[in-house]
Structure 1
């Protein structure tokens, strides 16, 4: 081809070589937002004729015999030989048409649609973001940052009063329910992470013991 081909990475080939739908069509996409634009369908007459001939030969095999088959094969060879040059020509036309729908950024060389184009700067919105949009985004970031900092400070004051020495069990040993640090299991009511003490001498009694190990009082 004499002309340089652009859109090398952001187009999709929708061409069909054979059958009643034979023709050329290409889908181009914006490098920034991925929105697509399709070129106008360009029929491939030879491919359609070959598809028609295959149907005729197939239905009339008994009447035409090998002669009809050879004619169909010859037409198929012609379709294949003409496919490449015709496709290149159609692709070049599609590219020329696509240039009316896409803009090439002078900085990053990407092709973008009109919605992703900063016409005042001649650059895509990735390279030259819209000022009003950037201001609004910065305001929102500032709001989020300050609110997050204030929430962190509130959490810090609450954390200062949190009893970090108290023993906790995050999973109930009786029913395996998650406790989230509660004193009693929300699933079965089992008392969690609390040592039993003797009612007589207040000594710590091991879990499951029937008598106090210090004074012998029955539990």
Structure 2
């Protein structure tokens, strides 16, 4: 989107997409340019490529009348394809130059970072994009919000530290239930199947630890 210097040379930035189509009834030239800051896009006007459209029409005619035209039709189609290909490069360059000239009315080049940005992301008075020269009011509001977030985070950290003093660190944790494989998030019982977590089950009679899956206590014989 810089325009061109010497004849035949085209200078442009890389924030564009080539939407051109060489063959078929939709053959033509179109380019999409994007703002380097907000990434909004602008498309150049579609410029038809007549040779490509004629080739598309002929290919359809040859395909439908192949038996009648035979080799002559095939040679004619190949010759036209060659002509379309030969003219494509110069025609596309000319179309690209026109698209660049049109794009210059929608984008501005930052004097500091050299990026191309749209009107909303550019300060005409300074000749700079809002990335290099941010809006003061927006920066103040953003700084206030960052200060609020940092202060609230600091207070939350201190509160968590005070609560941590009474946290039971000796209690064993099972983060996945051994019975149903549900994530437990440190609970005492599985939220899915109710299985007791954080250690082996204890016998209700003698309080001895029960091995996983036991139906009876191996110490006193009480049914689980």
TM range (shorter): 0.7 to 0.9
The equivalent residue for 1:207 is 209
Structure 2: 5+ residue stretches without partners: 1-5, 211-217
Question: What is the CA distance between 1:176 and its match in structure 2?
Answer: 6.6
Question: 1:188–1:52: structure 2 CA closer, same or farther, 3 Å change rule?
Answer: closer
Aligned residues: 204
Question: What is the CA distance between 1:119 and its match in structure 2?
Answer: 2.4
Is residue 65 of structure 2 the alignment partner of residue 48 of structure 1?
A: no
Is residue 186 of structure 2 the alignment partner of residue 180 of structure 1?
A: yes
Question: 1:56–1:159: structure 2 CA closer, same or farther, 3 Å change rule?
Answer: closer
Question: What is the CA distance between 1:8 and its match in structure 2?
Answer: 3.4
The equivalent residue for 2:172 is 168
Deviations 1:82-102 (A, max 9, x none): 111111000000000001111
Q: Secondary structure at the match of 1:78?
A: helix
How large is the Cα RMSD of the aligned pairs?
A: 3.3
Question: 1:190–1:70: structure 2 CA closer, same or farther, 3 Å change rule?
Answer: closer
**Residue of structure 2 aligned with 1:156, choices 141, 161, 172:** 161
Q: Secondary structure at the match of 2:33?
A: strand
The equivalent residue for 1:200 is none
CA contact 2:174–2:197 (8 Å) conserved in 1: no
Q: TM-score w.r.t. structure 2 length?
A: 0.74
Q: Secondary structure at the match of 1:16?
A: coil
Structure number, greater radius of gyration: 1
Question: What is the CA distance between 1:17 and its match in structure 2?
Answer: 1.3
Q: TM-score w.r.t. structure 1 length?
A: 0.76
CA contact 1:61–1:68 (8 Å) conserved in 2: yes
Structure 1: 5+ residue stretches without partners: 197-204, 212-219
Question: What is the CA distance between 1:12 and its match in structure 2?
Answer: 0.9
The equivalent residue for 2:124 is 119
CA contact 1:7–1:28 (8 Å) conserved in 2: no
Question: What is the CA distance between 1:57 and its match in structure 2?
Answer: 3.5
